[in-house]
Structure 1
Amino acid sequence: MQLGRETLQIEADALLALKDRLNGAAGVRFSEAVELLRNCTGRVVISGIGKSGHIARKIAATLASTGTPALFVHPAEAAHGDLGMVAQDDAFVAISNSGETAELMAIVPIIKRMGATLIAMTGHDNSSLARLATVHLNVAVDKEACPLNLAPTASTTAALALGDALAVALLDARGFREEDFARSHPGGALGRRLLTHVHDVMRSGEQIPAVLASVSLSLALAEMTRKGMAMTAVVDADFRPIGVFTDGDLRRLIAHVQDFTRLSIADVMHADPRTIGPDQLAVDAVRIMEESRINQLLVADATGVLVGALHIHDLTRAKVI
């Protein structure tokens, strides 16, 4: 347990030291790197080998999901054909703690000759890779968390954190919004919330429970039973919703009415029901339901015609909630 705490402390200290360095000349270089990446008209290519390669893959994935087209290229594979994935308009980010990684140094001169921007992340300002870079970002740490001071631990944490800092700075500079993030994550919870529209999940056509205002309460209850939404819309002759009646209304009615045969649905409906448009986001329907404390919602088009109905279970099944 003690060694675990010491490991976390060493890595935390490394990150705090990296943060403090950004207050000085390192911060200027960081800003230069952000501008180079922001103005890159191609893609951002991240490369590294060993543990740095794993960090490079994660940074590339984070950039790609936050609005910066990025990919990972393995430096050894690049020397055997994959260098064709790098173009003149790209920015190449090379990650190496020593700054002397042979596989990177074999391809960096070619990348420089083709005109691609080179950004290096190393732990040594005077390393070969640092000297060749357009911008060098120093991710040096005092020591590794490994008791032998050998296994990449604090150094890879620092590189990963600086990669996240670049991604977040670029995200902000590009004006990246929740909607943009959702488009990159359509299978995630945020994607479902921000990309799912009411018309994607609403019940339509014969599935909509609806009766005219002139029908009896008994016929309205039969419509509710057939459609299985625990409610029915009440519509006028043009199929515009003018009221709604729910199972909850029925339970409250039973408490003080014995004879339903003389009642029409117009006598007991709630007039002016809440509605939502079919092109609105499904998450807006959730908000209306929560604010109004209702489980069903009618869907009306721009002309006011009833085109659908939503139950809270529809939104749950679509994983909007």
Structure 2
Amino acid sequence: MKTTKYYLAAITAYTIWGFFSLVLKPIHDYPSLDILFNRVFSCSILMLLIAFTFKRKAITETVETFKSLSKAEKRKTLLLNFGGSFFLIANWFTFIFVMNHVSVKATSLAYLVCPILTTLLAYFLLHEKLSKTQWISVGLSISGCLLLSYADIMDMFYSIIIGLTYACYLVSQRVNKGFDKFIILTFHITLAAIVLLPFYPFYSGPVPTEFKFYFCIETIAILFTIFPLFLNLYALSGINSSTVGMLLNINPMIAFGLATFVYHEKISVLQVTAYGIIFIAVLVFNSHHIFAMRKKYLPIAKTPNCTQ
């Protein structure tokens, strides 16, 4: 199917992000802002090096494409890309803060709330259509999130903030078309670095000296930022933001498993039930594609040969 590669891109990105806590938790003693500063600066430097070394042609094409736009289109493009950078900064900071100072479960819940917010924003702002089955899926997701918020209302509060920032990023980038995805991502992250740079001397802590810190930061920059964000933008070029948003549920379900079995956070039956409902919601939302894939790739059973 034509959309399968976009589904695989989104699934891969969100599977990787599900394991984010494995590299974030080891440096939880460092201030959230220090982690954010180093993550963004490292990503920006790496992506600029790659862009100017291997993507010079794409940079030239991007500039020429932008120049060819009308005034209104230029204004829209700038708004989408400046807005994208802002949403990324807000999402990263709130995620790191909640992960290290509230709980892993709260960040997990955030990316359960995010698909609902993404779907609703896409429906009202982008006019993306949903089938009755997909609306049922959204209803299941909402019921699962309400169950989780009943267990801890503050987790829901933090989760809505994190989820809304990323939902806004997904929806804005769905309509940000016509440019090389890597160059666009480089612009987003570099702009984020420029915005954060003046705050660094005043809000950063002592320069870290541990090898562990820099190893984790570089792993976060390459494996948990550049690669999955690029896959995310690629997925948005082929499938609706509501679909990409719903696949985002893969991330928190993995994070929930880590919170339970690796970090031994207290898990209730209510939470297990809620995650089960949301897992079913993901299957229901994407059932049309799952059945289409099954029909295409399932081997046709051969008629038994009765002659001997």
The answer to whether the superposition gives a TM-score over 0.5 is no
Structure ID, larger Rg: 1
Higher strand share: 1
The structure, 1 or 2, with the larger RCO (C-alpha pairs under 8 Å, 6+ apart) is 2
Higher helix share: 2
- TM-score, with structure 2 as normaliser: 0.28
- TM-score, with structure 1 as normaliser: 0.28
